[in-house]
Amino acid sequence: MAKKNGVLGLIDRVNETVGSLVSYGVPLLGFLVLYEVIMRYGFNRPTIWVHDISQFMFGATYMLGAGYTYLRRGHVNMDMLYVRFSKRGKAMADAATGALFLIFLGVLVWQSGIMAWESIIFKEVLTQSVFEPPLYPIKIIFFLGCVLFLIQGLGFFVRDLIAVFAKQDPAANATIKES
């Protein structure tokens, strides 16, 4: 595997690191829900905060892990035709769909940034809850997750464009001469 240098490698390393760190929140989330179940059904003393915090943790894990999942190619694909394409054909298809993907994520980053900023300014809280936790932390995390997803998409888009416009077949670069 080629060494990941430059900006594209940095994007990959950032999403790899964030995804790895966020994965530690999943067992914590499980223990939190287990705690609520024990308190509610074992001691008849339900908490007022576990439900809200566990939803926030799930949302944070989901959003901060989106770029990592994309880096690992873990999102759903429709491969019926795609698998029959050459390397350059796949790069062309990825670049075309990647452009649409980047437009969508650009709007998502823009709008989630506005929502996070307004949540901070207005000190927004979750009013449907007795606990009433502040909403700005999860909205900031949602925005950051969208940014990480967007930059990973940009990284793949640039790689696809390089593969499309390369003078030789991208698969030819993978061959290493033995001495």
Query: Tokens 């290493």, residue?
Result: 176
The whole-model pTM stands at 0.84
pLDDT of residue 82: 87
pLDDT of residue 169: 57
Alpha-carbon dihedral 156, 144, 100, 90, rounded to 10 degrees: 20
pLDDT of residue 83: 87
pLDDT of residue 52: 94
Q: Is 118 part of any domain?
A: yes
Which has the closest alpha carbon to 25: 110, 138, 128? 138
- The structure tokens listed for 4 are 């990941």
pLDDT of residue 178: 38
pLDDT of residue 92: 93
pLDDT of residue 62: 95
pLDDT tens-digit series, residues 139-150: 999 999 999 999
pLDDT of residue 49: 94
Higher-confidence residue of 174 and 85: namely 85
What is the pLDDT averaged over residues 4-28?
Answer: 93
> What is the domain range of residue 37?
6-170
Enumerate the β-bridge partners of residue 134. Answer: 125
pLDDT of residue 129: 85
Q: Which of 143-147, 165-169, 174-178 is the least confident region? A: 174-178
Q: Is 23 part of any domain?
A: yes
**SS3 for 121?**
helix
Buried b (16+ CB within 10 A) or exposed e, 104-123: ebeebbeebbebbeebeeee
The number of distinct structural domains making up the chain is: 1
What is the pLDDT averaged over residues 1-8?
Answer: 70
pLDDT tens-digit series, residues 51-110: 999 999 999 999 999 999 999 988 877 788 888 889 999 999 999 999 999 999 999 999
What is the CB-side half-sphere exposure of residue 9 using CA atoms within 13 A? 6
- The structure tokens listed for 178 are 């033995």
Mean model confidence pLDDT for the chain:
90
pLDDT of residue 177: 38
Q: Is 177 part of any domain?
A: no
Q: How far is CA 125 from the centre of its chain?
A: 25
What is the pLDDT averaged over residues 109-124?
Answer: 97
pLDDT of residue 3: 52
How many Å apart are CA 58 and CA 142, to the nearest integer?
Answer: 11
